């Protein structure tokens, strides 16, 4: 069922678990993610990133996302991830995304606030929730999102508090050591900063760059303050590995890709200690 993330995140906050945000790039990935969520009986953030527009238009993403979200009985949020301009995000809202992100993390603080607030003001009139980002989650040398070798810098407590106050965002992505793409090793997570921000900011917190950040570290993030953790690279790597296995025909190849995607989502449901959610009404 297609839902907003507002109540989902409140439940995740209260019960100290995270919900995975899985980026889809076609109908196959969306189908596998939602079917896996259904089989596990767990909620899902089905995310489409603006950076993947070359592979899947926003119109196609909205249709695919809504179709597969409505086919299952578990809560599914259709989320527009890393939107970088108002007009694109507005199209997403008008097409039926139930959650959107404006990523102004590379902008000066005041301009990030201004642009995020513009998105919030429009989205809230449509009943759509908004995620913002302060601090910046960059990219590793090999990245399927954003620019490669884009430097990360940690979120400060002062910026987090002021950003939420001035934008009225519904959730906040913060940077505490992760990056998008493939790591050479594992990142160093600033748990002190996570605890500091989570104790002073009431909105749900989001972690980007979750892939291969280390299961123990991600479990701590999920149980110590993060309500949503984004995963993409690990899905693509797992599917690619499965595709390298000998296959007899096209349909067997599809089954291999599906199995690779499914294994990753099931794995992270366990790591994030995601719990079943019954929404009111």
Catalytic residues: 81
| 59 in Cβ contact with 95 (< 8 Å) | yes
CB contact burial 248-279 (16+ within 10 A = b; e otherwise): eeeeeeeebbbebbbbbbeebbebbebeebee
Contacts of 212 (CB under 8 A, 6+ apart): 182, 183, 186, 233, 234
Residues 92 and 106: their CA atoms lie apart, in Å, by: 22
Strand partners, 173: 133, 206
SS3 226: strand
Cα distances (Å, whole numbers) of residue 90 to 2, 98, 108, 125 = 19, 12, 22, 12
Tell me phi and psi for residue 128, to 5 degrees. Answer: -105, 140
Contacts of 121 (CB under 8 A, 6+ apart): none
């Amino acid at each position: 069922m297609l839902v907003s993330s507002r109540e989902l995140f409140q439940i995740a906050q209260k019960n100290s678990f995270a919900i995975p945000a899985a980026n889809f790039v076609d109908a196959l990935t969306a189908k596998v993610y939602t079917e896996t969520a259904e089989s596990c009986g767990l909620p899902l953030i089905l995310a489409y990133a603006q950076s993947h527009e070359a592979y899947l238009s926003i119109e196609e993403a909205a249709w695919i996302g809504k179709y597969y979200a409505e086919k299952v009985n578990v809560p599914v949020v259709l989320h527009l991830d890393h939107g970088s301009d108002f007009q694109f995000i507005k199209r997403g809202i008008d097409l039926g995304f139930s959650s959107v992100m404006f990523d102004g993390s590379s902008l000066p603080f005041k301009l990030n606030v201004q642009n995020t607030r513009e998105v919030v003001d429009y989205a809230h009139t449509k009943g759509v929730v908004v995620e913002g980002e302060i601090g910046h989650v960059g990219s590793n040398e090999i990245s399927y999102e954003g620019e490669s070798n884009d430097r990360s810098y940690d979120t400060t407590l002062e910026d987090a508090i002021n950003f939420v106050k001035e934008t009225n965002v519904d959730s906040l992505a913060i940077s505490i050591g992760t990056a998008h793409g493939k790591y050479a090793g594992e990142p160093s997570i600033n748990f002190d900063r996570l605890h500091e921000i989570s104790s002073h900011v009431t909105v749900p917190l989001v972690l980007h760059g979750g892939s291969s950040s280390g299961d123990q570290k991600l479990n701590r993030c999920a149980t110590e303050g993060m309500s949503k953790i984004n995963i993409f690279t690990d899905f693509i790597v797992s599917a690619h590995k499965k595709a390298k296995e000998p296959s007899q025909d096209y349909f067997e190849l599809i089954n291999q890709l599906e199995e690779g995607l499914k294994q990753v989502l099931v794995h992270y449901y366990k790591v994030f200690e995601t719990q079943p959610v019954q929404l009111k009404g």
